[in-house]
Chains A and B, each alone.
Chain A
């Protein structure tokens, strides 16, 4: 119970962090360039391939005492729970007119990629969205670029091509209605939808 509680906490904190990180960029929006993104993700993504400290750590050994074994198991379980908790976050936010994956989204996306790698039958639909500002048709392309960026990140980190599918809704399906940077920040997003 404790574990699931704490894992929920982790997820909530993480979600809060993502949202907070996102809305705080509102004020700096004007200062940010329109930097291209996709190349950076591949390089970074390549370097961030997960390091295998997850559940594989709990290899049992006859030298272990029962207590140690139990501790190791608890540790494995807790790591697994932490991974699952990370995967509670399925929405990732972007700055205006960019498709650059934010640093704080990486750990969660890596958890999703691992899950896909470990569950070859799992499939994910990657939905890209933009805020309402600017041109609808351009926003459709921008939403696609965001979805593609996330797809590439997942694939670089272990998911396989057949497991992913992307679609862009542009500005057509806002998460939150209305205007203002706080609203827009929540609408510039990619959502992962697992079947």
Chain B
């Protein structure tokens, strides 16, 4: 008998910039219902990068009662460290703790070797928390960002991640992804006590929320482009079936329950269709389903396994995995249903393609000797390079800005999700608090 729990959902709470014309902030965040967090993943920074940009994030001045938990400026510091692109200065090494431009002595920060400086103040206004912050280029002695943003006091982390995004964007010119979400599956217990939980958390593993709990496997979560719906495979009926699950309402729909396999869902760029692998016509083939009409278009037709279809960065063609050459390899179709061109050649096992956002690379699982790693293949040169240093890697998923990659692996016998910079430099890990953690899917940047 299948036990299935679909937890109550929460309202969406926006973070707003109430003041001035500086920057309009309006991102939506899922608020955590009190006490619903369960077995959060703990963050473990495993590697930093020497070329990381030195930045001083001064502890923000606090006015009024602060909510319990980490301070806004600590969360920002941790976010920037996590990206691998920044090396924040330890607060103990700071010579002064300014909270506004008039208190800043640039010479001090130059002496400490800092290139950027972030100062600010958090003020409690009733049930809301307001943060005013300023970012400076230390060498030029210039203010490059200034903003006031606010959020419900219970949502301090959203406010902090928002500031991290703004700082990241101002310095690197790339989209920040600290406000995005991860979906993943945890597995605890054994035998009759086994529990699979589909969870959604911040990218630092905090604010984890169980979205579906089952005693049968759940896998392959995939985010809709607007970040509002997850598609996944659940075995709750005794076989693999594809569901869509609206996060705000908890509303689920069984979208593919055909004879045989119903697996590997991947959203179309407009969020109105779903690529999927079905074996209803005999063996595993890639199909596209129009979600409004449920009409299926078959995109592959081969006696071999064809699976893991995913749209390319341009949203025009499709990557997929096929073992038509004898072992799994990545193929590309210029448009759905067009002739497939083989992309990977460097190893006998390449699977689970995930396109980078600029069309230069496709990331995938790659076998080298007896290790399974994440590699990326340059789509122009065909050159393959290894991105990860662990050996039991699977389920790569790229951050929406293409700068980081998350995957599931093992470290010292622990089941972990590991995040690496997309070129393989810095890394942090999110170990399972208990049991196993797997199947990470990095959510999109949602409308601000």
Contact = CB atoms under 8 A, between A and B. Distances in A.
Contacts of B263: 137, 140-141
A135 B219 contact: no
B261 A33 contact: no
Interface in B408-442: 410, 438-439
Contacts of A145: 283-284, 305
Contact of A134 (B219, B238, B349, B439): B349
A163 to B, nearest CB: 16
Interface residues of A, number: 29
A25 interface: no
A24 interface: no
A100 interface: no
B130 interface: no
Given A36-B326, A168-B261, A172-B235, A138 B308 contact: yes
B261 A141 contact: yes
A169 B392 contact: no
Contacts of B277: 137, 140-141
A119 interface: no
A135 B307 CA distance: 10
Nearest to A169: B217
Contacts of B219: 136-137, 140, 170, 172
A35 interface: yes
Contacts of B439: 136
B217 A34 contact: no
A137 B326 contact: no
A35 B328 contact: no
A132 B372 CA distance: 10
A135 B327 contact: no
A97 interface: yes
Contact of B240 (A35, A133, A140): A140
B260 A166 contact: yes
Contacts of A169: 217, 235
Nearest to A147: B260
Interface in A134-189: 134-138, 140-142, 144-145, 148, 166-170, 172-173, 177, 179
Interface in A31-71: 33-36, 38
Contact of B328 (A132, A134, A173): A134
A91 to B, nearest CB: 17
A137 B352 contact: yes
Interface in B85-131: none
A134 B394 contact: yes
A145 to B, nearest CB: 7
B308 A148 contact: no
B264 interface: yes
Interface string B375-402: 0000000000000000010110000000
Nearest to B194: A173
Given A141-B263, A142-B305, A144-B260, A135 B217 contact: no
A157 B326 CA distance: 27
Contacts of B352: 135-138
Contacts of B323: 34, 97, 138
A34 B348 contact: yes
A134 B372 contact: yes
Contacts of A133: 367, 372, 392
A179 B410 contact: yes
Contacts of B321: 135, 137-138
Interface in B38-90: none
B239 interface: yes
A136 B220 contact: yes
A135 B308 contact: yes
Contacts of B307: 137-138, 140-141
Nearest to B371: A133
B239 A167 contact: yes
B395 A136 contact: yes
B326 A33 contact: yes
B231 interface: no
B386 to A, nearest CB: 16
B351 A134 contact: yes
A179 B411 CA distance: 12
Contact of B392 (A97, A132, A144, A168): A132
B154 interface: no
A95 to B, nearest CB: 12
Interface in B259-283: 260-261, 263-264, 277, 279, 283
A135 B260 contact: no
Contacts of B239: 167
B238 A167 contact: yes
Contacts of A170: 219
Nearest to A179: B392
Contacts of B308: 135, 137-138
B365 interface: yes
Nearest to A173: B217
A143 to B, nearest CB: 9
A190 B219 CA distance: 20
Interface in B225-266: 233, 235, 238-240, 260-261, 263-264
A140 B305 CA distance: 10
A134 B349 CA distance: 8
A34 B283 CA distance: 17
Interface in B293-330: 303-305, 307-308, 321, 323, 326-328
A-B pairs, top 6 by smallest CB distance, nearest first, are: A172-B217, A135-B351, A135-B352, A141-B284, A34-B327, A137-B264
9 contacts: A135-B394, A136-B220, A136-B395, A137-B351, A138-B328, A140-B263, A140-B307, A168-B240, A172-B219
Given A136-B219, A140-B240, A145-B283, 10 more contacts: A36-B326, A38-B303, A133-B367, A136-B220, A137-B352, A141-B263, A141-B307, A144-B284, A168-B240, A169-B235
